Amino acid sequence: MLPKNPILGLCQQATFMTSAAKVDQCPADEGLEVAFAGRSNAGKSSAMNTLTHASLARTSKTPGRTQLLNFFRLDDNHRLVDLPGYGYAKVPIPLKQHWQRHLEAYLSSRESLAGVFLMMDIRHPLTEFDRMMLDWSNASEMPLHILLTKSDKLAFGAAKNALLAIQRDIRKGWGDGVSVQLFSAPKRQGVEEAQLVLAQLLGMIGDDEDAREQSEG
């Protein structure tokens, strides 16, 4: 049983701040924030809602509805950011191009960005968008943590094998700087592990050793 993570109390009081279509519409670039990215059908909104115990991000049966940068306040110095979903085929090309342009501007210019959570459907990992995000995080030395969502769709053994295979591919292509875990919003699998990483990125707990000590009690 993990001890109480300092992020939990903040998540329970998380509130919507603002939406931004462009970088100059974002909140003041101060404090720390973690962004959530992923293809439109990778379960990003469900993951955010499960990690925060709140209905922060809107889930939809029509992927691609998140067209803005959506900011959520944890406290005066910490935020979560829901990035536009990307790659859904039915979204018009000009809108896709708009999203990509402003997503790239946000990622490259935001000083308060402390890390990125990247959602990948465990059945369809390492898409073109995923690889683009991995390339960017590697080049910019931005911490990136992958949630292999919908892991409940696979048998336990198959999910573990998929995790190991993806970890090998990522180490081979992008080194050891990217962390990966299994995650299921409906089954609440991997929630505590992800929350520890989130707290670490936001500076609420120390390095990996401190996190292990906390998890071991």
Per-residue pLDDT tens digits of the chain, which is 217 residues long? 456 788 988 888 888 999 998 889 999 999 999 999 998 788 888 899 899 877 776 654 444 445 788 999 999 999 999 988 766 555 666 666 666 777 888 999 999 999 999 999 999 999 988 998 999 999 999 999 999 999 999 999 999 999 999 999 999 999 998 999 999 999 999 999 999 999 999 999 876 544 444 444 4
Distance of CA 12 to the CA centre of its chain: 18
For the whole model, what pTM was predicted? 0.87
- Residue carrying the six token digits 């039915």: 90
Whether the CB-CB separation of 179 and 170 falls below 8 Å is answered with no
Q: Assign 178 to helix, strand or coil.
A: strand
Q: Are 46 and 59 in contact (CB under 8 A)?
A: yes
Task: Please answer whether residues 37 and 117 qualify as being in contact, where contact means their C-beta atoms are separated by less than 8 angstroms.
Answer: yes
Cα separation, 20 vs 124, whole angstroms: 29
Q: Residue 95: name the closest of 50, 64, 135 by CA.
A: 64
Query: Which SS3 state, helix, strand or coil, does residue 206 take?
Result: coil
Q: How far is CA 199 from the centre of its chain?
A: 13
The correct answer on CATH 3.40.50.300 for the domain covering 6-214 is yes
d(CA 17, CA 81): 10
